[in-house]
Structure 1
Amino acid sequence: MAMAQSTCAERGLFTQQQAGVNTAFTQRRQNQASTSRHYRPLSPMPHSTAHHKHQRVSPLLVSTAFLLCGYAQAQTTAPAVEAKPATPQVQSPPADDKAAKDPNQLNRVEVTGNNSDLEQRRTSTAARIVIGKEEIERYGDSSVSEVLKRLPGVTTGGRPGRGGDVRMRGMGGGYTQILLNGERMPPGFSLDNLPPDQLERIEVMRAPTAEFGARAVAGTINIVLKEALKKTANEVRMGTSVEGDQASGNASWTRNDKIGENIPYTFTASLNRQNSRDDSESRTLWTDVNTGAIVLDQHATGTTFNKRQGLNLNARVQIPLAAGESLTIMPIAIMGNGSSSSVGKLDQAPGGAVVQPYATTAAEGSGTFNMLRANLQWQKRVNDAAKVDVRLNAGGSHNTTHSLRRELDGNNALLRLTDDSTDTRENNWSLNGKLSYQLESEHSLVGGLEADSSVRRQGRTTLQNGLPILTEFGDDVNASSQRVATYVQDEWNPSKQISAYAGLRWEAITTKSDSANYAVSNTSSVLTPLLHATWKPDEASRNQWRSSLTRSYKAASLQELIARPSISQRYPTGANEISSPDRAGNPNLNPELASGFEIAYEHYMTKGGLISANFFYRRISDLIRSVVALETVTWSDQKRWVSRPQNLGNATAQGIELEAKVRLDELWDDALPIALRTNLSVFDSKVDQVPGPNNRLEGQPKGTANIGADYKLRNLPISFGGTLNITPGYDLQISDIQSSSMGTKVVADAFVLWSVDRETQVRFTLNNFVPRDYLSTNTALNDTQRQFTESNNPSRLNWGVRLELKL
């Protein structure tokens, strides 16, 4: 498919001066651098000799190709917020034992089992990576995002060893779709709320499918919780870890059993307490754009102590009903609370361009998060060819926060007291139906309908020196979103060497919010055709090629749409500065649309190894990016700098992802059976409306790399291994007057596993054992000044030990 492919006068001066002032930071970076859904695989169906010779082109393929080339569209009256897609299929229902009517025709037999991770990947038509429990638990990570950072093409934000927002191909902020058991995560929920030992597997899909949803410009990560097994298991894990001078602990219990003779269930409970310390340092320099003279020099330091504890409960019960019919119940409950305390100091050189706002700060904060959700899934095999799947999901969450910040002068006199409290409640439900039909011509058809609704009620109180601020906007916000979607997909095998997939999905989202003096109403609809194919050079080949043509989109979030402003803490009254703007929403945002192409090569080795290469390309229209501008605002009698999201224009993103999983004895007969895992990803992007160089997508690094190995001793019950994760530093041009840079991020982890006996294991872990500072800069230019801020966030080694028991 063919794909489409204003610098101001101060820009040259801005770039030249930026190069000079950045010298110290650049040198530091150079020095630093030297140190379920039980997702049904889209697999080939068994071949029928009666229909193998004469294959007809699927009508859906023809219509989808036509739509992909010229008809894919988005009809928008206003932007939409995120909503949840379909709940996943959890497990195949019992096989239908009805006898076939035709005595010459074999009965349909449905076999269930646990394919290896690589086998599931190999037999899927749409590109898919599966990470199992062993790999998830190997390094004893404290958060799911730390597990994900080792996957091909996945990066995380934040300082080393702390996880952070998860990005596929360096694209975060809504480009990466994160699912929990095939459902979009509820608002307010974070992967940090989920202990890794509650996971069954992680599924990574590089391109969207009609069933999983098309809000996946970069890809989809599906987190699948523990599944109900038909074997009895009773497992207990207890661990502790230490980071710097802060200790944390966790414990979990997993029970697999049966109620009666044929109702399997699993139950998992996790209790955790995490303590951490974060130190920060920053320096702000303002220079005159004409003379280069320093007009402001500030140095800020701070220390924050965080405490967080939580209880996580989830279960899965599968109840067989009649023949070919089952009901699965999946409840999940999360209860957590946390607190923080911080102190800060600000030093300013005499004669600055602005009056020093404060000398010291002290702040305390607290918060709670509670969530309860339940999922019901009913499956019934209507006949040998048809199956119905209905899923009902409902739940709610309650989130509270409270913060108190004091700013003091050099004599410890109170200058400003800010008291902020929020109380947010979310209630949501979804209802999804799916019909699967297997044609004799080896076409596997799936069609579905989805509907969901979410309501948010938030109360907020912000006091400054005891008086409310932003009173014209009100303290309470009520918001709701409704989504409807329908899709159809066809998967078939034209030959033993080719498997193909064609899908078409339409969905519409309506979002409404209201406050005291304003209301927002947005509706958007998107039609997305999708094509995937896999080809093997011959039937028995261990090599295969994949390709995809897709249409995907990114909807504006509720935070981006709501117009209620957030005031700069550094300059809350009067005029503020371009480097410390207020923030506000934009109710007129359109969704981003992306046309995509992928091609991949995979080679599967005889002992379970894999070598693969994947190329991707995305063309994005209506790119959303926050832009800072000087505005006349209602909340101040002076003009203020405000950052608002806007549909900036068009962008492209492309890259290549290389991966190898191999044992050394697959390469050399006499080598030790050391398992090597390595991947390298290189990314590039360009925003058309931003002057270069470095006019990349926001937050996207130039690549990421992982290399790891593990080995099990032959004569001792000990295995050990390590991994190194590297994300190179990069520069970013945000607009003609804004730029930023991020330092290189390196994380090294290691583990030792001692199998005491068949029921007992002890795991020793070292995470981030070569701690490094995490550096970043921000630069902004106004009419007379260049404002440059460099930040340094140190990281620390984390060591831990965990006892794992099978009772």
Structure 2
Amino acid sequence: MTLRYCLLMLLASAQVYAEDGPQTVVVNGQTDVEASRDFVAGKLIISRKTLEESGQQNVGDALRREPAITIGKDGRLGLLGLTGYTQILVDGRESLTDPYAMDLVQVEKIEIIKSATASTGPFGVAGTINIIRRKIDRKAMTLLRAGGSTSAGYGSANATLMSNQLPSSLPISYNFMLIANSRTTPNAEQYQQTQSLGTAAPTPQFHGESSGVSRVETVLASSEIAWAVNPEHKLSFKPAATYMGVHSHGVEQRLWGDGDTLSAERQHRDRTTIIELPLGWDWKISPDSSLSLQGRFSRMQPTTTIRRMDNWSVEGDHLRQQVRDLDVTNRFLDLTFKTAFTGGHDFSAGMKLAKIDNDADYTDLIDGLPDLSQAVLGTSTHARTERRQFFVQDDWRVNKSLSLSAGMSTEQRIHELDEGTVHNRPRFSIWSPSAHVAYKVGGDSKRQLRASVARTFQAPDTGQLFLHPTINPLAPCYDRSLCGANTLDTADSAGNPKLLPERSLGVNLSYAHGLGASSEAKIEFYTRDITHKTGTELALENVAWATVPRYVMRPANLGDATLRGVNLEGRLAARDVWKEAPNLDLQGSVGYAHSALRDLPGPDNRLEGQLPWRAKLGAGYALADLPLKLNLDANWLPGDWFRNNLTQRTYQSNRFTLNAGANWKVGATQRLIFNIDNLLARDSHSINEYYGANQTLRRYTNNDAYARFSVRLEMNL
């Protein structure tokens, strides 16, 4: 019997009890809104209880309901509409796995800041989302969660077991966590492409359709062992092992106007294992001072296998096989010192050192024989990255009304890249000052003016720096020699070792007006001035893997960009304004923004993902007579064009998504949760335009959408 059916049997066996309705969410006697008012830089806090009451399984699903979080048309989350510019940290550090996929049972709270501080580092142009992992509870307990979902007839399942133990005879506490997920997602699209020569009317080139199914499986086993050596010293060891597997398969059919056809069947497998061995030492030097030393060693080994069977009416049948074996070793060392000085100063300083080795081996076959075009830069690569980051920060509470924060963060990064006989050594050093001011109007923490200014950066990752190409499967090289020509819409992709980090100067101005313990209205103005803006460049190049010039898409620094925007955010607990009101919570946001890439022609030269406006609305209602809470949230995004580069622009249709959920406490230690995601399941549409010598190509695409229904049982044993 499969895991999915076992979980469904477990859900069906749950007994039903009655209990009081949900209570107000508090953190150490404060609501999330009240706790967020204490930070100079305008940090937002989402507590563990808020996350639990959301009825969601993972971090990403819970954050979708937060008014400060923006959702892109590709589903990615971020801040200020800049998904690619939002820094995501776990316990203040980079994560080896997708932080949004973290099970909420692992999370203590989430911190959100839409500017930058020295302690969060020089990266995060739009801001930082920091996920704080759950610590060992000072009580023995066991938690079990199990659930299942379905989308377009494809099932998914998940299970979580967490056990927390406190041996009474030893100064040691430990926990154990086991998480298993299997999620299946279908996809389907239909497309057609036209060609315009000069000023002539467009003529059809081809049409086609593709469909597929992707299954993601994850198993995580982790533990934390904490040893209180004495009241001043504490040691912790947090080993973890993760397996992630992705298996997707699909088919594609394409028909050209002259009668040529293509039928393709593809299979894609990713298998990744990760071992993490973090060791920590915390020293309570004095009541006002502490020192934390964290060392972390990890090894990640991903393997990607792609099998594509093409049947061309002209080229015949061909089998392409690609295997990518990676071996990534990470060594991190973090040191943080905190102290408090007289006069209201909270001072912190620290350093972060990292050394990363990345080895990759490539195997490319065509009809069982080596693909010579892919071997021109060798069949292996090696990258070593060294990073040194330092910061100092001072938070100063001048008086009851005024607070200041100032800091400096700096990082030096050196890459050593070897691809066959090609060696590149990109390096850069950056300095990131930041300053924040918070003023309580009349000394009232419910009414606060805030201002922030920060220099931030967006660094290129190692994958963007490698020259090794990915040859477009629709313009392949079947004769096992160097490639021939391709077209604008079948460009290859490759990296750029000369890519520079983006630099941004950001300003945030906000006013927050509290209406109660859980109610607040906020308006925020923000600007970003970006230099060395990174985008894509599509050009016809002489390349090592072809005998004639081919079109290649590379990351490139496109020039300068500007962003100006305003956000309105609000939260309202009905009982904050009327004690006899229903237990109803409302939250939402509306944002307007204007961005421009100065070195690209208008009028569609905006930052990718930065829409002219966006809106969100969420509601939660706890029934008076039943231990049941209902949740509803909606997200609106307009249709818009944006220019990718000088030779390409894209249109994406408007999006409206609606999600609903029910959180039912069926017993003192049991809870049953129902969710419907993408309730309306509206298809999306896009247009891609490519501009070449006296020609314009337009591709019209329709992507099918699906609703997802899920149910989950949670039990404290």
1:133 alignment partner AA: R
Query: Are 2:341 and 1:432 aligned?
Result: no
Q: Please identify, of 686-695 and 733-742, the stretch whose mean Cα deviation from structure 2 is larger.
A: 733-742
CA distance in 2, matches of 1:702, 1:148: 22
CA distance in 1, matches of 2:136, 2:402: 34
CA distance in 2, matches of 1:673, 1:139: 15
Query: Are 2:142 and 1:234 aligned?
Result: yes
Query: Are 2:656 and 1:768 aligned?
Result: no
Matched ranges for 1:126-165 at <5 A: 126-138=41-53, 140-141=55-56, 143-157=58-72, 163=75, 165=76
SS of 1:118's partner is: helix
Closer, same or farther in 2 for the Cα pair 1:706/1:500, shift >3 Å? same
SS of 2:33's partner is: helix
Query: Are 2:434 and 1:530 aligned?
Result: yes
Q: Which 4+ residue blocks in structure 1 deviate beyond 6 angstroms?
A: none
Query: What is aligned with 2:299?
Result: 396
Query: What is aligned with 1:676?
Result: 586
Query: What is aligned with 2:125?
Result: 217
CA distance in 1, matches of 2:580, 2:35: 30
Q: Contact 1:772–1:795 at 8 Å: present in 2 too?
A: yes
Query: What is aligned with 1:280?
Result: 189
CA distance in 2, matches of 1:156, 1:753: 24
- The offset of 1:368, in angstroms, is 0.7
Query: What is aligned with 2:385?
Result: 481
Query: What is aligned with 1:368?
Result: 271
CA distance in 1, matches of 2:498, 2:632: 48
Query: What is aligned with 2:508?
Result: 598
TM-score of the two chains, using structure 1 as the length reference: 0.81
Closer, same or farther in 2 for the Cα pair 1:265/1:585, shift >3 Å? same
Deviations, residues 22-48 of structure 1 (Å, cap 9, x unaligned): xxxxxxxxxxxxxxxxxxxxxxxxxxx
CA distance in 1, matches of 2:654, 2:49: 29
1:169 alignment partner AA: L
Q: Please identify, of 376-385 and 558-567, the stretch whose mean Cα deviation from structure 2 is larger.
A: 376-385
Q: Please identify, of 323-332 and 723-732, the stretch whose mean Cα deviation from structure 2 is larger.
A: 323-332
TM-score of the two chains, using structure 2 as the length reference: 0.91
Q: Contact 2:512–2:522 at 8 Å: present in 1 too?
A: yes
- The offset of 1:319, in angstroms, is 2.3
Query: What is aligned with 2:480?
Result: none
Query: What is aligned with 2:35?
Result: 120
SS of 2:209's partner is: strand
Query: What is aligned with 1:60?
Result: none
2:80 to 164, 169, 186: 169
Deviations, residues 386-413 of structure 1 (Å, cap 9, x unaligned): 32111111111111111110111359x8
CA distance in 2, matches of 1:607, 1:154: 21
CA distance in 2, matches of 1:314, 1:546: 40
Deviations, residues 44-86 of structure 1 (Å, cap 9, x unaligned): xxxxxxxxxxxxxxxxxxxxxxxxxxxxxxxxxxxxxxxxxxx
Query: Are 2:417 and 1:513 aligned?
Result: yes
SS of 1:146's partner is: helix
Query: What is aligned with 1:444?
Result: 346
Closer, same or farther in 2 for the Cα pair 1:320/1:125, shift >3 Å? same
Query: What is aligned with 1:316?
Result: 224
Query: Are 2:710 and 1:800 aligned?
Result: yes
1:441 alignment partner AA: G
Deviations, residues 772-800 of structure 1 (Å, cap 9, x unaligned): 11222210111121101122111111111
2:586 alignment partner AA: L
- The offset of 1:143, in angstroms, is 4.9
Q: Contact 1:226–1:266 at 8 Å: present in 2 too?
A: no
Q: Contact 2:535–2:558 at 8 Å: present in 1 too?
A: yes
Query: Are 2:170 and 1:255 aligned?
Result: no
Query: What is aligned with 1:559?
Result: 463
CA distance in 1, matches of 2:286, 2:377: 58
Q: Contact 1:227–1:266 at 8 Å: present in 2 too?
A: no
- The offset of 1:738, in angstroms, is 1.6
Closer, same or farther in 2 for the Cα pair 1:401/1:140, shift >3 Å? farther
CA distance in 2, matches of 1:439, 1:712: 46
SS of 1:665's partner is: helix
1:633 to 529, 537, 543: 543
- The offset of 1:654, in angstroms, is 2.2
SS of 1:136's partner is: helix
2:690 to 738, 760, 780: 780
SS of 1:585's partner is: coil
1:704 alignment partner AA: R
CA distance in 1, matches of 2:283, 2:112: 28
- The offset of 1:323, in angstroms, is 2.4
Q: Contact 1:152–1:657 at 8 Å: present in 2 too?
A: no
Deviations, residues 662-720 of structure 1 (Å, cap 9, x unaligned): 12233445532211111222222111101111211123223332211111111222221
- Identify the structure with the greater strand proportion: 2
Deviations, residues 613-667 of structure 1 (Å, cap 9, x unaligned): 2211111111111111111222111111111222221111122222111122334
Gaps of 5+ in 2: 1-26, 477-482
Deviations, residues 79-117 of structure 1 (Å, cap 9, x unaligned): xxxxxxxxxxxxxxxxxxxxxxxxxxxxxxxxx957542
1:206 alignment partner AA: K
Matched ranges for 1:325-336 at <5 A: 325-336=233-244
2:499 to 582, 586, 589: 589
Query: What is aligned with 2:322?
Result: 420
- The offset of 1:293, in angstroms, is 4.4
Identity over aligned residues, as a percent?
25
CA distance in 1, matches of 2:654, 2:53: 25
Query: What is aligned with 1:492?
Result: 396
Q: Please identify, of 739-748 and 523-532, the stretch whose mean Cα deviation from structure 2 is larger.
A: 739-748
Closer, same or farther in 2 for the Cα pair 1:265/1:602, shift >3 Å? farther
CA distance in 1, matches of 2:319, 2:54: 43
- The offset of 1:498, in angstroms, is 0.9
1:720 to 627, 630, 636: 630
Q: Contact 1:150–1:725 at 8 Å: present in 2 too?
A: no
- The offset of 1:121, in angstroms, is 1.1
Query: What is aligned with 2:452?
Result: 548
Query: What is aligned with 1:454?
Result: 356
Closer, same or farther in 2 for the Cα pair 1:484/1:115, shift >3 Å? farther
Gaps of 5+ in 1: 1-111
Q: Contact 1:427–1:454 at 8 Å: present in 2 too?
A: yes
Closer, same or farther in 2 for the Cα pair 1:745/1:267, shift >3 Å? farther
CA distance in 1, matches of 2:222, 2:526: 37
CA distance in 2, matches of 1:332, 1:155: 31
CA distance in 1, matches of 2:56, 2:102: 11
Matched ranges for 1:1-40 at <5 A: none
CA distance in 1, matches of 2:289, 2:143: 38
2:149 alignment partner AA: S
CA distance in 1, matches of 2:686, 2:226: 50
Closer, same or farther in 2 for the Cα pair 1:293/1:166, shift >3 Å? closer
SS of 1:183's partner is: coil
- The alignment of Structure 1 onto Structure 2 pairs a total of residues equal to 682
Deviations, residues 541-600 of structure 1 (Å, cap 9, x unaligned): 521111101010111111221111211211124211112211121111221111111111
Higher relative contact order (CA 8 A, sep 6+): 1
SS of 1:796's partner is: coil
Q: Contact 2:631–2:660 at 8 Å: present in 1 too?
A: yes
SS of 2:35's partner is: helix
Deviations, residues 503-533 of structure 1 (Å, cap 9, x unaligned): 0111100011102121121110001111011
1:483 alignment partner AA: R
CA distance in 1, matches of 2:83, 2:517: 35
RMSD across aligned positions (CA): 2.1
Q: Contact 2:293–2:333 at 8 Å: present in 1 too?
A: yes
Closer, same or farther in 2 for the Cα pair 1:345/1:143, shift >3 Å? farther
CA distance in 2, matches of 1:442, 1:538: 19
2:647 to 701, 721, 737: 737
Q: Contact 2:31–2:518 at 8 Å: present in 1 too?
A: no
1:360 alignment partner AA: S
1:178 alignment partner AA: I
CA distance in 1, matches of 2:59, 2:290: 34
